[in-house]
């Protein structure tokens, strides 16, 4: 796997969102990078990642593209699909990216299944940085005490000790894309990062993106290989 | 993957049509190269491409054969099957071909699914050449603003920056071969390239070829490997 | 893949019959080599070819064994199974064999599906030798003008330019072993090669062999790998 | 496969529990290491082991993590999943671990299916150490006289001659996680190792862990690869 | 694949029994080596062979273990499972074993399907040693004149010319383990080798072993890989 970088912003906060329970990481990252008008600064390349060109207005994006929101100095890396079996490698490249950019911190967005049918999703947190954790707890997040996390986020939890890493989990009740849980993630990130995102269009737009992913799932975006990953991804749960 | 070229026409327009939604690229390219009486000038070889000999009158063609219509100086490369997992490589070889022939431009033909049940297919366009785009818009094409493109065409969208590249998408409502959508593609290309193809036999002949592909699908032309590709191909959609 | 030859007859006619539509090539080649009492002169070896010992009277034969009928100077190479994914390699070795033996000509036996429910199978021909083609047309064969040919025969059609190559296709209506179509192939070859095979026991014996293959199919002779090939093989059709 | 060790306790007893019939080894090892408050001292790493981060209170554990209970000088290595196809390698690394730590003995925990529907599970034993075997027989274990053992435990039985190795099998009637059978294993180990574990909360806590594993199974923790392993694992039986 | 030998008996008769139609080779070899109290003298090792430890009284056996009955100077090599895709290699190692031990002869035990529903199984023979064949014909065996033999036995038939090789086939009507057909094989071998095995407990004990194999099949002893082999194995039939 190759890391191609056309620009190297300094001391950014890196936000990653890969497919997991409820696709909440993917949805939240996609929403934020579009909302903040982030621009491509590179991508991860591996011949095993299928060639999917995603058309977004004037841009043509690829899986594992890296975006930068200049004003907020946020770097985003996310994917809708295509990283099955490459989780360790993607995680390694993200840590490499954090080192190259001397990142301030790395924030991972994930879902976690819950039997509770509460109206709003709780947000759970794990962090290797005491101060960050405290701040998120103050904002309403709860500590995640039991669970199993897979995929790129799982790999990052097992490899990312040398970087300030925070993992946020939005409670979700479904394996299908869940834009409401993603919205809760964005709300909390908005407060933490002081982005002042207008929360009104958020749920609506997240729902649109949720529908798009649902379409892609229906249309078979997941290759045979990805099914395998899916099976593993589904085990993110609340202990 | 190897590129074998027996003849090197100069400054041609290259037209590619690979299996995608509605097989419109494959059908349109096949129709045009037969109609223009294009002759084989080489092929792409890879042992992973299955040995399928396609008998066409006196000719014996192979998958990934390259054809040249001398009068119109058009080069065609297309396939009915067999490129699953080789999309990045096929795209690389097509770009290599464009460089070797110093191609004027590269036109990719694809389908895009649409929920609209309109009688005629709209044609959508993406181009990295402003003048070409403008011309197609004048001919009635619309800009493609959202969507995900896979397969060889997806790989070309992500790799083809150094070549004048135009991507045409015919709206289709079905995953089965769609000759009517292909006919719309051909009509627009006819205008753009000033080919003066008599449009009357077009739909009828395209339908015949559509039936042939349907037969091949029924007879199981798609190997296990290709199924995988199919699953990915299906996600070409209108955002 | 290795070519092991214990004897090198000079200037033979090589006849190949590999599994395809109706197994007509396999059945016809097996019948002829048994009828002419051809003797083993070698075989193709590849560890990917499964170890199947075929007991035939006092002989123990293997897949891809090569036989020689001395009086008629005919060399046979055929298989019932086991060449899936090895088609290009088998074809290369057959061409190599033709060169080593300085073969007079190479005759491929195949089936081609047809919707016609005629009582007798028509025989279709493709040849790169004008004289041979003319002779077969005189004997009642018709030119094959449209179709797709896969498997070893497909690979030979795409690779065999340097050898005098003739491809005979017997019309068949079924994907199951078809001894009657094979019988038509043998009748025409008998005339062309002037073998004077008594035609009476032919259909009966071919039927017996057909039943044997059917048994083998029922008993699961086709490995998983072969299924893949089957799917591809089925596309031999009349355009 | 790599063995990473951050600490090297001397002369420990090593206890392994890998997924098998009734998951009894996994459940028993997990219960004991939690109960004894064992701390991570390293892990086995292989890119083929999926990245699953298991959150347990303040700790983040991985598959194939190695734990040490200091007071009792017990080393635990266990997994819930992810070792399919790696059984020989995992077994080799466990033997390597035993050598590096100069382990006193190696105790493997496994399940064995039985048609008997008795209320409590019998414990069966195999040992290459006469004294250990005698002691366990005195504690109520029975000799295992017939059966087939697969997975990591099977590999250890075939490779572990140079280490004092004892294999304990808890009778189970189900392929689903069986905490009651695990509890019997723990009771016997408690006596043998003189751990003085309070037996009262045992069954209850084991049941909770059993439910957790059942959830993970329901949620699809087993990847395609693991299914293969499962099929093999199931053959542990009483001869 | 590696051949590990701890003892090298001189001039033994080697008897092999691998899974095939009715598992008759496996059952017969297992019965005989247990009955004659044969001792392990080595094994074949390959990481692709799954780690299955078979507990038999005080012994722990593995797949592809090699046994020696000293008094009768018989060497046994057999397997219940796990040789799928390794047939050529296993056969090569058996021939290597025969050379190292300077074996007197190699006797392969196999099943062959038959539509006849006769009460007792006929035994068929192929041998490259005229004297041995004559002897078995005198004992009631019949020559096998048509058929296809796969698996390790098939590979041995195609590779074993340099060793005195005899192949015995017991007629069976089922693909499930068939202890009665195995008993017929043992009866004939008993006469040929002059073992004076008491025939009375034979059928009963063979049935017990048959049930054990049936259990293992039910419990899923066959891995995915083995299914492939099974499909091929089933084609052993009477021509």
Nearest chain E Cα to D175, which residue? E219
**pLDDT surpassing 90 at residue E174:** no
Give the CA diameter of chain D: 45
C76 vs E227, more confident: C76
| pLDDT on residue C216 | 64
**pLDDT surpassing 50 at residue B103:** yes
Q: What is the pLDDT of residues D130-140, one digit of tens each?
A: 999 999 999 99
| pLDDT on residue E215 | 67
| pLDDT on residue A129 | 94
**pLDDT surpassing 90 at residue E203:** no
Place of tokens 């200037």: C11
E178 in contact with chain D, both atoms CB, cutoff 8 A: no
- Phi then psi for residue A106, to 5 deg, are -120, 125
| pLDDT on residue C19 | 86
| pLDDT on residue C201 | 73
Cα distance from E157 to chain C (closest Cα, Å)? 6
Please list every residue in chain C whose beta carbon sits closer than 8 Å to the beta carbon of residue B55: 126, 144-149, 239
C234 in contact with chain B, both atoms CB, cutoff 8 A: yes
Cα distance from B55 to chain C (closest Cα, Å)? 5
Strand partners, E143: E125
**Which tokens hold the place of E142?**
């019949």
**Residue C116: which pLDDT band, with cuts at 50, 70 and 90?**
low
Q: How many CA atoms lie within 13 A of E208 on its CB side?
A: 9
E72 vs D183, more confident: E72
Chains E and D touch (3+ CB pairs under 8 A): yes
Could you tell me which residues come within 8 angstroms of residue A74 by beta carbon, excluding any fewer than 6 positions away? A12, A13, A14, A15, A32, A36, A38, A68, A193
D54 in contact with chain A, both atoms CB, cutoff 8 A: yes
The stretches in chain D having pLDDT less than 70 are 115-119, 175, 198-200, 215-239
Residue closest to E44 by CA, chosen among D158, B171, C92:
D158
| pLDDT on residue B152 | 95
Q: Compute the average pLDDT of residues C157-186.
A: 87
| pLDDT on residue E200 | 67
Nearest chain D Cα to A157, which residue? D53
Instruction: Give CA angle at A92 (A109, A29), nearest 5°.
Output: 25
| Window from C6-10, C149-153, C205-209, E167-171 with minimum mean pLDDT | C205-209
**Residue B197: which pLDDT band, with cuts at 50, 70 and 90?**
confident
Q: Which of E52, E57, E224 sits opposite D148 (nearest CB)?
A: E52
Nearest chain D Cα to E224, which residue? D228
Please list every residue in chain A whose beta carbon sits closer than 8 Å to the beta carbon of residue B235: 52, 216, 219-221
| pLDDT on residue A238 | 44
- The answer to whether C22 touches C170, Cβ cutoff 8 Å, is yes
A223 in contact with chain B, both atoms CB, cutoff 8 A: yes
Q: Compute the average pLDDT of residues C38-58.
A: 94
Rounded CA gap, C211 and C193, in Å?
Answer: 27
**Residue C107: which pLDDT band, with cuts at 50, 70 and 90?**
very high
**pLDDT surpassing 90 at residue B205:** no
Residue closest to C183 by CA, chosen among C210, C198, C167, C203:
C203
| pLDDT on residue A233 | 35
| pLDDT on residue B198 | 67
Mean pLDDT of chain E: 85
**Residue B234: which pLDDT band, with cuts at 50, 70 and 90?**
very low
Quote the strand ranges of A104-227, DSSP E: 105-113, 123-127, 142-143, 146-149, 165-172
**Residue C47: which pLDDT band, with cuts at 50, 70 and 90?**
very high
Q: Which of E51, E215, E220 sits opposite D158 (nearest CB)?
A: E51
| Window from A80-84, B7-11, B151-155 with minimum mean pLDDT | A80-84
| pLDDT on residue A200 | 67
| pLDDT on residue C229 | 35
Please list every residue in chain E whose beta carbon sits closer than 8 Å to the beta carbon of residue D153: 53
Q: What is the pLDDT of residues A37-65, one digit of tens each?
A: 999 999 999 999 999 999 999 999 999 99
Q: Which of B53, B215, B221 sits opposite C158 (nearest CB)?
A: B53
**Residue C209: which pLDDT band, with cuts at 50, 70 and 90?**
confident
- The answer to whether D121 touches D184, Cβ cutoff 8 Å, is yes
**Which tokens hold the place of B36?**
């223009």
pLDDT tens, N- to C-terminus, chain A (239 residues):
999 999 999 999 999 999 888 889 998 999 899 999 999 999 999 999 999 999 999 999 999 999 999 999 999 999 988 788 999 999 999 999 999 999 999 999 999 887 666 667 899 999 999 999 999 999 999 999 988 898 999 999 999 777 999 999 999 877 678 888 888 999 999 999 999 876 667 777 777 777 777 766 655 443 333 333 333 333 334 43
Please list every residue in chain C whose beta carbon sits closer than 8 Å to the beta carbon of residue E239: 55-56, 212
Sign of CA dihedral C201, C204, C208, C209: positive
D149 in contact with chain E, both atoms CB, cutoff 8 A: yes
Rounded CA gap, D227 and E69, in Å?
Answer: 39
**pLDDT surpassing 80 at residue E173:** no
- Contact flag B91-A51 (C-beta cutoff 8 Å): yes
- The answer to whether D136 touches D192, Cβ cutoff 8 Å, is yes
**pLDDT surpassing 70 at residue E8:** yes
Quote the strand ranges of chain D, DSSP E: 2-5, 13-17, 39-45, 53-56, 59-62, 65-69, 74-78, 105-113, 123-127, 142-143, 146-149, 165-172
Please list every residue in chain C whose beta carbon sits closer than 8 Å to the beta carbon of residue B216: 148, 235, 237
- Contact flag B51-C91 (C-beta cutoff 8 Å): yes
Please list every residue in chain A whose beta carbon sits closer than 8 Å to the beta carbon of residue D214: none
Nearest chain C Cα to E147, which residue? C55
Q: Burial letters for D74-106: b for 16+ Cβ neighbours within 10 Å, e otherwise?
A: bbbbbbbbbbbbbbbbbbbbbbebbeebebbbb
Rounded CA gap, A117 and D112, in Å?
Answer: 39
Q: Which chains touch D (3 or more CB pairs under 8 A)?
A: A, E
| pLDDT on residue B135 | 97
Q: Compute the average pLDDT of residues C181-208.
A: 83
Quote the crossing angle between the two packed helices A224-233 and D224-233, to the nearest 10°. Answer: 70
Q: Which of C144, C158, C227 sits opposite B51 (nearest CB)?
A: C158
Rounded CA gap, A81 and A23, in Å?
Answer: 10
Instruction: Give CA angle at B151 (A152, B206), nearest 5°.
Output: 155
Could you tell me which residues come within 8 angstroms of residue E118 by beta carbon, excluding any fewer than 6 positions away? E171
C175 vs E103, more confident: E103
**pLDDT surpassing 80 at residue C119:** no
A48 in contact with chain D, both atoms CB, cutoff 8 A: no
Q: Compute the average pLDDT of residues B188-197.
A: 91
**How many interchain CB pairs under 8 A, B with C?**
73
Residue closest to E239 by CA, chosen among E138, E124, E109, E159:
E124
- Phi then psi for residue D6, to 5 deg, are -95, -15
Q: What is the pLDDT of residues E204-226, one digit of tens each?
A: 777 777 777 776 665 544 333 33
| pLDDT on residue E81 | 81
Q: How does strand A53-56 pair with strand A74-78?
A: unpaired
Residue closest to D189 by CA, chosen among D174, D169, D203:
D169
Domain membership of residue D78 as a residue range? 2-238
- The answer to whether E149 touches E170, Cβ cutoff 8 Å, is no
| pLDDT on residue A161 | 78
Please list every residue in chain A whose beta carbon sits closer than 8 Å to the beta carbon of residue B110: none
Mean pLDDT of chain C: 85
ipTM of the complex, rounded to two decimals: 0.86
Could you tell me which residues come within 8 angstroms of residue B222 by beta carbon, excluding any fewer than 6 positions away? B81, B230, C231
**pLDDT surpassing 60 at residue B2:** yes
| pLDDT on residue B239 | 34
**Measured torsion, CA atoms of residues D161, D165, D171, D173, in degrees rounded to the nearest 10:** -60
**pLDDT surpassing 70 at residue C8:** yes
Mutation target to probe the C interface, by most C beta carbons within 10 A, among E126, E235, E236, E239 is: E235
E173 in contact with chain C, both atoms CB, cutoff 8 A: no
Report which secondary-structure segment, H or E, holds C59: strand C59-62
The CATH number for B180's domain is: 3.40.50.10900
Number of separate domains in chain A: 1
Q: How does strand D105-113 pair with strand D165-172?
A: parallel
Question: Which B residues 103-142 touch C at CB under 8 Å?
Answer: none
Q: Is B86 helix (H, G, I), strand (E, B) or coil?
A: coil
Q: What is the pLDDT of residues A122-159, one digit of tens each?
A: 999 999 999 999 999 999 999 999 888 989 999 999 99
**pLDDT surpassing 90 at residue B156:** yes
Q: Which of D62, D212, D223 sits opposite A232 (nearest CB)?
A: D223
Q: Which of C144, C155, C231 sits opposite B223 (nearest CB)?
A: C231
User: How does DSSP assign D129-153, residue by residue?
Assistant: -HHHHHHHHHTT-EE--EEEE-HHH
CB atoms within 10 A of CB E203: 17
Q: Is D226 helix (H, G, I), strand (E, B) or coil?
A: helix
A91 in contact with chain D, both atoms CB, cutoff 8 A: yes
Nearest chain A Cα to D57, which residue? A145
């Amino acid at each position: 796997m190759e890391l191609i970088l056309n620009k190297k912003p300094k001391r950014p906060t890196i936000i990653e969102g890969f497919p997991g329970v409820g696709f909440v990481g993917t949805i939240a990252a996609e929403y934020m990078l579009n909302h903040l008008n982030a621009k491509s600064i590179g991508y991860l390349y591996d011949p095993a990642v299928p060639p999917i060109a995603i058309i977004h207005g004037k841009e043509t994006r690829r899986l594992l593209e890296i975006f930068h929101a200049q004003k907020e100095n946020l770097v985003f890396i996310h994917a809708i699909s295509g990283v099955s079996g490459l989780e360790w490698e993607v995680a390694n490249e993200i840590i490499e990216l954090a080192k190259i950019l001397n990142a301030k911190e790395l924030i991972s967005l994930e879902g976690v299944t819950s039997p509770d049918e509460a109206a709003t999703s709780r947000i759970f947190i794990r962090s290797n940085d005491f101060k960050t954790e405290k701040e998120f707890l103050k904002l309403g997040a709860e500590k995640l005490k039991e669970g199993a996390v897979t995929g790129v986020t799982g790999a990052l939890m097992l490899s990312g000790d040398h970087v300030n890493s925070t993992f946020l989990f939005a409670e979700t009740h479904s394996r299908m894309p869940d834009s409401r849980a993603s919205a809760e993630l964005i709300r909390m990130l908005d407060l933490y990062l002081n982005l002042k995102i207008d929360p009104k269009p958020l749920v609506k737009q997240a729902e649109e993106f949720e529908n798009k992913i649902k379409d892609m799932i229906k249309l078979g975006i997941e290759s045979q290989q990805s099914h395998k990953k899916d099976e593993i991804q589904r085990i993110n749960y609340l202990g």
